[in-house]
Amino acid sequence: MSLPLFIARKYIRSKKNSGFISFISAITIIGIALGVAVLIIAITVLNGFENAVTDKIINLNSHIKITGFGDRNLPSYKNVIPKIQNRLDTNLKSISPFVAKYAVIGSKRFDEGITLLGLHKELDNSNIKKYIVEGEYKFGKTNDLSNLIIGKKLADKLFLKLGSKVTLFGLRGDKPPSLDYPPVIQQFIITGIYESGMSKYDDEIIYSDMKTVQQMFEVGDQVSGYNIQVTDISKVDLLADDLHVFLGYPYYARSIFKVHQSIFSWLELQRKPIPLILGLIIIVAVFNIVGTILMLVLERTKDIGILKSLGARRNSIIKLFIYQGLYLSFIGIAFGNAAAFILSKLQKELEIISIPDSVYFISKVPISIEWEIYFIISAIAFTLCLLASIIPSLIASKISPISAIRFE
């Protein structure tokens, strides 16, 4: 063991340190621990939030959505699907036509504006069935009424349950109401309730059979668009652009990242404050380490003089105080990692903290524990603490032996 390390260990374990020095050391350790813990938790929550929202958006939507310009209806899908299949070839996983119409759903107590989504029975490639919490995901008819699947939030708002009968109102042939085109009215029965955790869907979108919706709105065999799932989502933007050019007007093909561009841009925006947070933590850590080691230098000034008079080199004095700084840093970083992991694990398992899903798309603060984040932040913190330890250590190494021995 080198002499500087041996002496540093003796200093660290010594019970003769003044109470003030011990207090300053404790504050330094706490400051480093808090900084490391806060940064790890912030990135853990941010990554968890981004992963949770992205996964839900991808699960609840198609990779590529084709609609008509201006929400106009598109011709029968029977001639269009083969063209898309040939164009995408092995990149295509599945394709399903759909009909989407704005409507009003009425119960005995309230009315609510919604989007009625008609899905193809055989070609349906949606993932809504994964989120069914009551009833079943099945299209067709029950007691001569068409089946309807609604979100739990909407069901609670309208005091509806499985088996409830509801009335839907819409525009006949997508034309404004008039004597020639009175609104369409049809009764449905609720056979399924889903809960995705995203109020945008649970409160606004309901599902039924595509043919039922076509007949209700009197649009013949026209569709609103196509939901496409691809084999490799990393290619989705290129494939969507290619389809957009290939199909031409009036088809409008967009990738999931463009359909929900505002959400993904918002997620990206959440990462902007991270450098600022990191900068503030760095400043606090540096000042803590510098201040603490300077106090240690003052406390050990006589010892420095004695060591120098016995032949200790300048490098040995520098190493002596750097080792003490690294020791404090290591303790602080270890405590910070432990605190971050425990708090993250508690939130992940118990979901203690809730957030409004109407604002954040999910109801609980999500957590994504990634060990590389712990390692990277710990490495950065340790490196910065090492650099911060050098400044006061250099000051200590320049102290004159005679002045140090006389120091009171």
Residue type, 198: M
Indicate the domain borders of the chain: 3-58+267-406, 62-257
Q: What is the CA radius of gyration of the chain?
A: 33
Is the per-residue pLDDT at 231 higher than 90? yes
CA distance linking residue 199 with residue 360, whole number of Å: 9
How far, in Å, are 105, 128, 133, 166, 306 from residue 163 at the CA level? 15, 19, 14, 10, 90
Q: Which of 189, 129, 186, 121 is nearest to 155 (CA)?
A: 189
- The DSSP element (H or E) to which 149 belongs, if any, is strand 145-151
The tens digit of pLDDT for each residue in 253-301 reads 999 999 888 888 888 887 777 777 777 777 777 777 777 777 776 666 6
- HSE-CB at 66 with a 13 A cutoff on CA atoms is 29
pLDDT-based confidence at 105, cuts 50/70/90?
Answer: very high
Mean pLDDT of 373-400: 80
Contacts for 256 with CB less than 8 Å, ≥ 6 apart: 57, 58, 61, 62, 63, 64, 65, 233, 236
The yes-or-no verdict on residue 197 having pLDDT over 70 is: yes
Q: What is the pLDDT of residue 387?
A: 82
**Measured between alpha carbons, how far is 202 from 169 in angstroms, rounded to an integer?**
19
What number is the average pLDDT over the span 197-201?
82
Q: Name the more confident of 406 and 58.
A: 58
Q: What is the widest separation between alpha-carbon atoms in the chain?
A: 108
List the beta bridge partners of residue 145. 142
| Mean predicted confidence (pLDDT) in 212-223 | 92
Nearest in space to 138 (alpha carbons), one of 128, 170, 186: 128
**Per-residue confidence at 311, pLDDT binned at 50, 70, 90?**
low
Cα 19 to Cα 362: distance, rounded to the nearest angstrom:
49
In this predicted model, which residue has the larger pLDDT, 308 or 270? 270
Give the pLDDT band (50/70/90) at residue 337.
very high
pLDDT tops 80 at residue 90 = yes
**Which pLDDT belongs to residue 323?**
80
Cα separation of 86 and 167, whole Å? Answer: 41
Backbone angles phi, psi at 225, to 5 degrees: 170, -165
Average pLDDT over residues 85-113: 91
